């Protein structure tokens, strides 16, 4: 591949990952959203897209094709941007994915967007997207599900950390 | 307990946890080093203190007394500082420990000291304490052992993050 650098973004729900991706887009950097791989699979299967179908599809994909599957499916898209110096991949969730990227992309940097649980909860409550938590218990359950996939390991091994405690996450986009 | 606030520090090996603890000490804040619980057990058992005996003692303690054991054993010491407004606990490693602390201390804040793997490796190579890695492979193995205990989950759920990329970790103390 001809790409100089790929930056993979990781962050807990509500940390402001999508905001970071928006900043990249505004700088003309292509952003590949890892969740879109799963979203496409759900759509192709004829199911409605919601947090439940997305989660079970993700689990199914990983069972069938290995834990790096979502990353592997992003590689052709990364390759299609080979004229670009930097490409951003949004939504890392496990070290298996990091390994899958690094097998193909030597210069792969992990960027974590970090916010405190309190800030993340307040943001998610405010934005109230369909799959956002309706209670502290919901929020904690969602966090635990992410941690079980291994997102904490990716965060611990991140190359760059950005603290995002400011309360200006206005877009609320995915 | 009469304590206003306990701050628990977490960080991967070489991130500069002990440096952060030194800053707290210099401000007159008592610092309880969680590793000392395990160190004491090894010493009491008559074994030499090294990374191997410390690790097996930690695993044994957790097996025997539950995964929050090291935290629980720090509680009497925290209580002994009840006249203080703030106490620092250095060396969180799992959410079980966080839970054990939060059961007794409502105002328990997690502070993560974050450095990139490259910075941490360079620092550890430089300080060359007895248990420091002699190769990249050693370093990765040590990281993986920490992650297996669940340190990544604590880092992901930290309340405050401090990025420590500066190359001035001079003390090299534990």
- Tell me: the pLDDT tens digits for A48-94? 998 889 989 999 999 999 999 999 999 999 999 988 999 999 999 99
Question: B127 falls in which pLDDT band (50, 70, 90)?
Answer: confident
Q: Measure Cα distances from A31 to A89, B120, B126 in Å.
A: 6, 29, 37
- Is B12 an interface residue toward A (CB < 8 Å)? yes
Q: Name the percent of chain B lying above pLDDT 70.
A: 93
- Tell me: the pLDDT tens digits for A91-125? 999 999 999 999 999 999 999 999 999 999 999 98
- The model carries a pTM of 0.91
Residues in chain B: 174
Coil vs helix vs strand at A9 = strand
What does the DSSP 8-state code read for residue B53? H
- Is A154 an interface residue toward B (CB < 8 Å)? yes
Q: How many CA atoms lie within 13 A of A131 on its CB side?
A: 15
Q: Measure Cα distances from A57 to A79, A92, B24, B63 in Å.
A: 25, 16, 47, 36
**Whole-angstrom Cα distance, residue B11 to residue A156?**
8
Question: A169 falls in which pLDDT band (50, 70, 90)?
Answer: very low
Owner of token pair 């509680």: B75
- Tell me: the pLDDT tens digits for A6-37? 999 999 999 999 999 999 999 999 999 999 99
Q: Are A157 and B118 in contact (CB < 8 Å)?
A: no
pLDDT at position A137, please?
93
pLDDT at position A128, please?
73
Per the prediction, chain B carries an average pLDDT of 91
3-state per-residue secondary structure call for A97-155: HHHHHHHHCCCEEEEEEECCHHHHHHHHHHHCCCCCCCCHHHHHHHHHHHHHHCHHHHH
Chain A closest CA to B111's CA: distance in Å? 10
Q: Are A158 and B114 in contact (CB < 8 Å)?
A: yes
- Tell me: the pLDDT tens digits for B1-35? 455 799 999 999 999 999 999 999 999 999 999 99
For A164, name the nearest residue in chain B, comparing CA atoms only.
B161
**Whole-angstrom Cα distance, residue A168 to residue B14?**
33
Angle at A130 between CA A127 and CA A133, to 5 degrees: 70
- The answer to whether residues B49 and B56 touch, using CB atoms and an 8 Å cutoff, is no
Chain A closest CA to B48's CA: distance in Å? 30
Closest Cβ opposite residue A114 in set B12, B153, B161: B161
Question: B173 falls in which pLDDT band (50, 70, 90)?
Answer: very low
**Pairing mode, if any, of strands B108-114 and B5-10?**
parallel
Report the run of H or E that residue A31 belongs to, with start and end: strand A31-33
pLDDT at position A51, please?
83
Coil vs helix vs strand at B45 = coil
Closest Cβ opposite residue A161 in set B118, B150, B161: B161
Write the CB contacts of A74 (distance below 8 Å, at least 6 apart in sequence). A32, A34, A37, A89, A101
* Contact residues, chain B, for A117 at CB < 8 Å: 157, 159
Q: Are A117 and B161 in contact (CB < 8 Å)?
A: no
Chain A closest CA to B155's CA: distance in Å? 6
- Tell me: the pLDDT tens digits for A120-161? 999 998 887 766 778 899 999 999 999 999 999 999 999 999
- Identify from B157, B160, B166 which residue to disrupt to test chain A contact, counting A C-beta atoms within 10 A and taking the largest count: B157
Top-confidence residue, B2 or B64: B64
**Whole-angstrom Cα distance, residue B167 to residue B169?**
6
Query: Is residue A2 over pLDDT 60?
Result: no
Top-confidence residue, A174 or A158: A158
Residue B77: both structure tokens together: 């010491």
**Whole-angstrom Cα distance, residue B146 to residue B72?**
20
């Amino acid at each position: 591949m001809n790409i100089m650098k790929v930056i993979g973004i990781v962050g807990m729900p509500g940390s402001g990952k999508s905001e970071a991706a928006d900043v990249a887009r505004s700088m003309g950097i292509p952003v590949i959203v890892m969740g879109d791989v799963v979203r496409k699979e759900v759509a192709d299967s004829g199911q409605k897209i919601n947090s439940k179908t997305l989660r079970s599809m993700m689990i199914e994909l990983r069972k069938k094709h290995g834990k790096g599957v979502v990353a592997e499916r992003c590689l052709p898209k990364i390759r299609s941007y080979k004229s670009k110096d930097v490409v951003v991949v949004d939504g890392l969730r496990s070290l298996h994915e990091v390994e899958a990227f690094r097998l193909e992309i030597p210069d792969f940097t992990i960027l974590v967007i970090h916010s405190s649980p309190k800030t993340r909860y307040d943001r998610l409550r405010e934005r109230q997207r369909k799959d956002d938590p309706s209670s502290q218990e919901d929020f904690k359950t969602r966090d635990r599900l992410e941690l079980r996939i291994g997102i904490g390991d990716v965060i611990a091994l991140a190359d760059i950390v950005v603290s995002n405690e400011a309360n200006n996450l206005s877009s609320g986009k995915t």
